[in-house]
Chain A
Amino acid sequence: MKLFDDVIAQMFALLPKTPDLFSEYKESLCAPEGDKNAILFRSDMAFELGGSGKTSVSSVLFGDFPDGKDAVSVYGKDLCELSADTPFAHLTFVQLKDSREENLRYEQLKNIGFCLFQLYPQGYHIRISPSAGKEQVRVAKTALAADAPLSFLNIGCSLIHLLKTQPEVAAVQTVYVTANDVDYAALSALARRAKQITEAVKHTLEVNSLDCASCKMKPICDEVEGLRELHFKMEKERKPYES
C-alpha cells in the first residue's frame, strides 16, 4: 500500500538516523497484563509520557516494509532511564497481508487502530485521545523498581502480539520516541495527516460522488498520491445496485 508512504517517510526523516534500540518481536518479552479498569494514581506514578502539557503523539499507519519483520524501536531514553514527564510519540506501522488498495476496507483499518485501546500492560496506564491524536502514559513506580524493569520493548511486544491477532495483519513495527531533539510538533502534524488519509479512505470507499470540486476531501486527495485513483477505480467497479 502506498497511501501512507509519503507520511511514513517524512516521519522517519524527523527521527534520528539510527534508533537507540531496535529489537525483533518475541512473545516471551510481552509485558504482564494488568487490569483494564485500573487507574494509576499520581501518587503511584513515576512519570507521565506526554504529561505536564508536553507534546504526545499517537499514530497508526499502513505500509509495506521491505523485510516484513515484527520489531520494536526506541528513539531516546527507555522507561528505566526516564525520571520526569517527557514529550512522547508512539508510531505504529502495520503491513497488511493483502495490501492492494482495491481490496482495502475502512473497517479493517479502524479495527486495527482500535487494538491500541485494548492494551493494558501492568504498571503502564495508556490513555489515547483519537480526536487529538494523543497518547499519554502513566508509568508506575513499581514497574520500574522491579528486578527486570518494564521497558518499551516489553510494551511494544505486547502491542505486536495483540495486533497479530487481527487476521489481516502481516507485520508490525512499533516505534517509541522520547528523544529531546525530535520535532514533536511536526510529528503531530504528520499524525494528523495520517488520520486524514484514513478518513479519506473511508470517504473514498463509501461516497459515490465524482464531483471533486465539491468534496471536502479534495485537499487531502490533491496531496496523497493514489487516493483519487482509488476512488475513481472503486466508483467504476461499483455495481449499480450498490449505489
Chain B
Amino acid sequence: MNTVTFAFSGKGGVGKTSLSAAFIRLLCERFPNKRILAVDADPAVGLSTALSMEPPMTLDDVRLQIAQSIEKGETADAVALLGEAKFHLLDCVLERGNLSFLAIGRPEAAGCYCKVNAYLKQVLEMISGNFDFVVIDGEAGIEQINRRVMEQVDCLVLVSDSSKKGIQVIRTIEQVASRLVACRTAGVIFNRTRPGFDADALHDIPPVLSVIGDDALQAQCDMDGDSVFCLPEDSALLKGASRALETLLQRVHNETV
C-alpha cells in the first residue's frame, strides 16, 4: 500500500491539533473506502478530544508494561519484546468506520527506555503500511524531529500564527527537518492570523498552503467540547484545511506520477 503520511508541527498553541483533526475529517469524508490512521504524538493528548475518540490504552502504557516486565526479568529477548509490543498494539488502536486512532501518550516514568522505544517505533512503522493515509499530530517544537520520531514523512505541515515567534519556530523546524526527515513536500498553514497579516511578505519559509483567520465556529466547537466532526462545513478552519489538503495531495500525486 502506498501510504501518504502527513505530520503537523509548529509552536505550541497555534492550532496544530485542530488542523490535524480537520485533515482527518476531510480525508475520512473524501475517501470513505480508504483507511486512515490518526496518530496523537503530542503528549498533551488533544487529538483524542478533537476526534472524540478515547483509546483504552496508549503506546506509552504499552512501553511501561514492557519496561516493567523487563525489570521483573520476564522478557528481554528481541523477538519476545516485539511480540509483546505487537500483542498490545492492537489494543491501542481504536477503530471507527474507516478511521483508526492511536495515541502515543504521556511518558511519566523516568529512566532510559531506548530499547523499548526502538521496538515500538518498529511496530509503528509496521502498522503504518496498513493505511492509505496517516496523520500525525506532533509535539510542539523540534524535539520529535530531533529524536527522529518522524523520520519518514510525505508531507510536513508547519503551522504558525502570525506572531514572529511562531514564524521563527517553523523556520527552525524546517531547517532541522531538511537534515533529519525524509520528507517529500512541506508547506505552511497560517492559522488564527490577525487582520492585516501578509503571508506573501515573508521569506525563507516553505510555500504557504493556506491562511486562516480567527474562526468563531471552531472556537464555539472547542468551548462546547464537540469533535471536529460537529464543525459546520463552512467554518474557516475546514475551508482552509481543505485548500491545504488539496495542494498537498496534488503535489504528492504529481511526484508519484
Contact = CB atoms under 8 A, between A and B. Distances in A.
A128 B129 contact: no
Contacts of B126: 37
B130 A136 contact: no
For the residues of B in contact with A, the DSSP-based class is: helix
Nearest to B123: A37
Contacts of B86: 127
B84 A41 contact: no
Given A110-B77, A127-B90, A39 B84 contact: no
A114 B74 contact: no
B176 interface: no
A130 interface: yes
B127 A128 contact: no
Contacts of B93: 39
A127 B87 contact: yes
B83 A129 contact: yes
Contact of B95 (A37, A38, A41, A130): A41
Question: What interface size band does chain B fall in?
Answer: 20 to 34
A114 B127 contact: no
Interface in A106-131: 110, 114, 117, 127-131
B119 to A, nearest CB: 13
A231 interface: no
A135 to B, nearest CB: 9
Contacts of B75: 130-131
Contacts of B83: 117, 127-130
A99 to B, nearest CB: 23
B172 interface: no
B79 interface: yes
A38 B130 CA distance: 6
Nearest to B131: A39
A43 interface: yes
Contacts of A131: 69, 74-75, 80, 84
B89 to A, nearest CB: 8
B88 interface: yes
A117 B90 contact: no
A42 B95 contact: yes
Contact of A117 (B82, B97, B130): B82
A136 B83 CA distance: 12
B88 A129 contact: yes
Interface string A32-63: 00000111011100000000000000000000
A129 B86 CA distance: 8
B130 A39 contact: yes
B79 A114 contact: yes
A127 B90 CA distance: 9
A117 B83 CA distance: 7
B35 interface: yes
A134 interface: yes
B100 interface: yes
A128 B100 contact: no
B147 to A, nearest CB: 23
A136 B88 CA distance: 11
B84 A129 contact: yes
A231 B88 CA distance: 36
Nearest to A127: B87
B82 A136 contact: no
Interface of B: 35, 69, 74-75, 77, 79-80, 82-84, 86-88, 90, 93, 95, 97, 100, 126-127, 129-130
8 contacts: A38-B130, A39-B127, A127-B87, A129-B83, A129-B88, A131-B69, A131-B74, A132-B87
Interface of A: 37-39, 41-43, 110, 114, 117, 127-132, 134, 136, 138
Q: Which 9 A-B pairs have CB atoms at the shortest separation, nearest pair first?
A: A129-B87, A37-B126, A130-B80, A127-B87, A131-B69, A39-B130, A114-B79, A131-B74, A117-B83
Given A129-B87, A138-B90, 16 more contacts: A37-B130, A39-B130, A41-B130, A114-B77, A114-B79, A117-B82, A117-B83, A127-B86, A128-B83, A129-B84, A130-B83, A131-B74, A131-B75, A131-B80, A132-B87, A136-B87
